[in-house]
Structure 1
């Protein structure tokens, strides 16, 4: 039996996509020589492809002659996300978190430098956290936003710099503090808002990611500080992180 033929791949398209993927995954902008060497391409070919990607809006040319991916790639991914029923995918994990914690559970997506809550399960407790579906909060102030920010920090850091608004005495308002917080978030696997958006309201968040590692949403639990369980912050954060990982796995199979 004759084996099926491998589909033909346009080499120019493949090289252009490899450049875009390289820039999107890089923590810093890259020059033509560095890109060409890392992808085993000629400098002239790399330069031509960069010009096309720049003209199409997927890449920007910096004053120092380096190149970086723009958020247009994210926008294309966001259009894909809009076709995913994320609320349906996340529903079992949200229900589990609600049962385990008894606190408010949120599903949020990024919108510019904000998170927007697209689903929630309210807490039955008399003292509880509350936000409406469709409500928003700054990325740098709440658990869901901080989780997305940490995961996509290479792309978002230049944008959030200078936009670190103060909402409580605990809000992170300078870039050095935010850098340290992002590092800690990535180390432990979940974000922790200690009352940085609303006084005495704590929140924990973990990113929901594509197979590439890019955060497209976040899962979070929010509670008044008087409701902090004896098991502590690490227990709550680990629950959220595990649930977000489960949803990410389902997104990757969709």
Structure 2
């Protein structure tokens, strides 16, 4: 990959999180402002970035349009969406759908619940591997666990965040044994969720869904009480993806 292309990709990823100044972008790339500006001008012409009124740079509308087109091409998302919507409407909570994509677990759909609040999860962005329920529900079923454990930075967000690879590996063992994962305020301490694996036609866990709620609205114990309902939804999605076995990957 050429250096210019790599820098352009880096800029798009950098401004996707929040608006950035020219100086911030140049510092992030480790280049002079004039170099960063030339790349930004090209990206702006293509609609990949845009300047906002305070002279900072943000994600461009053309990129947002391409992102939506890419999501529309994710067949699993289209097949799962009616089931996810039904689950969100019935539970009243936010439902996430995630996909194993290379070395990441990415949110590919999100149905906001009634009275939902802002969450760190965004469609198209990767889940945090050592905290997100959707990530743990998938990773627990991957054969190359050591590689995944090495990819986590184990940043401590809250007192309940998994502290290191040994603790995460033990947690993944529990997830695989009981058939579901959870996030007990491990990234945002006011939220909790339970997550279920989703199987594809080969019986491999390639996706997962989660039900997320404010702790003051539905604490973890309450979410666990509805696991049968959530498990049924996950099984329905697995069926839609071509899986003909049970909830444990067995035919």
TM-score bracket, normalised by the shorter chain, equals 0.5 to 0.7
Structure 1 residues 112 and 189: alpha-carbon distance in aligned structure 2, compared to 1, 3 A threshold: same
Alignment pair present for 1:226 and 2:216? yes
Q: Which has the larger radius of gyration?
A: 1
- How far 1:210 sits from its partner (Å)? 2.0
SS in 2 for 1:89: helix
- How far 1:248 sits from its partner (Å)? 0.9
Partner of 1:108: 98
Write the distance in 1 (CA, Å) between the matches of 2:173 and 2:148: 18
Q: Which deviates further from its counterpart, 98-107 or 156-165?
A: 156-165
Q: Which deviates further from its counterpart, 159-168 or 96-105?
A: 159-168
- How far 1:209 sits from its partner (Å)? 1.4
Q: Structure 2 regions of 5+ residues with no counterpart?
A: 1-71, 245-251
Write the distance in 2 (CA, Å) between the matches of 1:136 and 1:84: 15
TM-score (norm 1): 0.60
Residue among 85, 89, 97 paired with 2:79 = 89
Structure 1 residues 120 and 84: alpha-carbon distance in aligned structure 2, compared to 1, 3 A threshold: closer
- How far 1:164 sits from its partner (Å)? 4.1
Aligned length: 173
For CA contacts below 8 A with separation 6 or more, give which structure has more relative contact order: 1
Q: Deviations over 1:18-50 (max 9, x none)?
A: xxxxxxxxxxxxxxxxxxxxxxxxxxxxxxxxx
TM-score (norm 2): 0.60
After superposition, residues 11-160 of structure 1 pair within 5 angstroms as: 85-125=75-115, 127=117, 129=119, 131-152=121-142, 154-160=143-149
Partner of 2:34: none
RMSD: 2.8
